[in-house]
Structure 1
Amino acid sequence: MVAVKRIRSFTSNAHRARLQFLREALVWQGLNHRFILPLIGIDRETFADSFCMVSPWMKQGTVLKYLETHGRTEVDRLLLEIAQGLEYLHSRHIVHGDLRGANILVSDDGHGCLADFGLSTIISEEISELLTSSSNRAGSVRWFAPELISPADFGCAKFARTPASDVYAYACLYTGRPPFADVTPETAVMFQVIRGERPQQPANMSEQLWRLVSAVWAPAPGTRPTVGDILALFPTPS
């Protein structure tokens, strides 16, 4: 059983969609880590007019579905695994760019795997023009770091996904719900983040872990811990 990700495009943006497909495939094909969903290959036959990316079928679904079904007893282990996958990406100068619960799948043996590299960025001057998609503001605003919402207000020259914005989004996973889940519309969420407001501390989260999460949500990107720092302080799963 496999999953097939089909490129969908309309005549007006077919070229842009093809480039986006190539970016994602080129980033994804070079990744090899236990906690990252593997790319099996490219399919040109299932849909005559489309290229498709093929990956293993993950019958457990997303981490959100998994926790809903199995409870939160394994949440610390899953968060640790995702941090390890994210550290691997950053060590290869790759920013995930769209880290959220819907883009984390759970393998058949219950391990978390990072997936969906459609908004990933390569941090490399030599190939940045070819492979990065930093100017593309797609993604879930609820998971955006403040500098992605208003770059100039937070010391950034332009909109750019970075390891620091990945780490900010990673900290949002700890709350167990989408950030500001009770706030609508998303523009209201954007204003709250810019003002320095953050999701509330979950009732079952320790003070030590909450201090770590709060540090990762720092407004200035340069002051946030790296994912390596987070791993060094990560509590041992019970």
Structure 2
Amino acid sequence: MRKVVEAGEHLPSSLFITGVNDHDEHPTFAGGFGDVYQASYNGKRVALKRIRIFTADSTTHRNQLQFYKEALVWQGLRHRFIIPLLGIDRSTFAPSFCMVSPWMKYGTVLKYLQDHGRGDANRLLLEIALGLEYLHSLNIVHGDLRGNNILISDDGNACLSDFGLASTFSDADSTAGITASSNRAGSVRWFAPELIKPESFGCERFARTTASDVYAYACVCFELYTGRPPFARLPDVAVMFRVIEGDRPEQPTTISDALWQLVTAAWAPEPHARPSIHDIAVALQGGPATVPASPI
């Protein structure tokens, strides 16, 4: 369906909704791809992720196709720890389209922990793992897992969001399954080493995989307990060199030895040495799981 949509540059009519109103004049968040506004839909506050106005410009055209791709991946997801897509609004900012989702009043998981303390960090890490496990069970790689892309629902649960870099992969039984996209966009501080220098880690090309998602999950564990990404004080280029060389941050005093064992296994240098997100979720729930010791 995604290929058909990209070829015809149209979304299925079933995705479109009407009745969005009372939108804010200015965006709450702004980025290079689009802006996020608050609005109302069916009497509830919602978030409008607005794509910039379509023009003949090639960059804008790529953004349009990226918007279509994200909407198609997102619309099929149904899980407690995944933010739902309510539909596509095409009237509020016509001719721009907006993806409509519930408004998360608590904001990101990082803001929630900063405001409420870190007592719920382990519970939230389990919820994040379960949401990611659901994606992987559908042969979907998130591709941009990080603290700012995890929001907190009104009942206090972690919900994965932002599927702009999500891709399907060809072999559900392989941690090296090739994804549908080699788009190098994303947050390099959460990049696994094989995404930075593929040829040095047995990869033919840049390709997001379930294993690179697991690496990013390890970085999220570090974020939730420290409030910052790994190597926060270093510039991006220096971080990439450190990651390729196998360097990882030292264990923060706030992280237990048991959790740190999961983290070090999840950001192992070799993709195949990392546990699956299923094994991580089982371990977080206190059950038996095959989590290899990190070679670092």
Partner of residue 231 from structure 2, selected from 177, 180, 188: 180
1:156 correspondence with 2:203 = yes
Which range moved further: 169-178 or 25-34? 169-178
**Counterpart-to-counterpart distance in 1, 2:186 and 2:201:** 19
1:198 is aligned with what amino acid?
R
Query: Which residue is equivalent to 2:11?
Result: none
Could you tell me which residue of structure 2 aligns to residue 166 of structure 1? 213
Match of 2:62 among 11, 16, 37: 16
Q: What secondary structure sits across from 1:37 in the alignment?
A: coil
Would you say 1:136 and 2:218 are equivalent positions? no
Moved over 4 A (4+): none
Tell me how large the CA RMSD over aligned residues is.
Answer: 1.3
CA distance in 1, matches of 2:280, 2:95: 44
Q: What secondary structure does 1:54 align onto?
A: strand
Q: Say yes or no: does 1:146 pair with 2:193.
A: yes
- Percent sequence identity over matched residues? 67
Give the CA deviation at 1:49. Answer: 1.7
Provide the C-alpha distance between the structure 2 equivalents of 1:102 and 1:162, rounded to a whole number of angstroms: 20
SS at match of 2:159: strand
Unpaired runs of 5+ residues, structure 2, are 1-44, 172-178, 287-296
Number of aligned residues: 229
1:235 Cα deviation after fit: 5.0
1:43–1:51 Cα contact (<8 Å) kept: yes
Q: 2:111 aligns with which of 44, 61, 65?
A: 65
What is the CA distance between 1:210 and its match in structure 2?
1.2
- Could you say what secondary structure the match of 2:131 adopts? helix
Q: Distance in 2 between matches of 1:109 and 1:227?
A: 24
Contact 1:86-1:227 within 8 A present in 2 as well: yes
Deviates more, 1:154-163 or 1:10-19: 10-19
Q: Confirm whether residue 86 of structure 1 aligns to residue 157 of structure 2.
A: no
Consecutive unaligned residues in structure 1, runs of 5 or more: 126-131
Match of 1:231 among 281, 287, 290: 281
Of Structure 1 and Structure 2, which has the larger fraction of its residues in helix?
1
AA partner of residue 49 (structure 2): K
Cα displacement (A) at 1:135: 1.4
CA contact (8 A) 2:169 2:180 kept: no
Question: Could you tell me the TM-score, scaled by structure 1's length?
Answer: 0.93
Deviations 1:163-185 (A, max 9, x none): 000000001112132121111x2
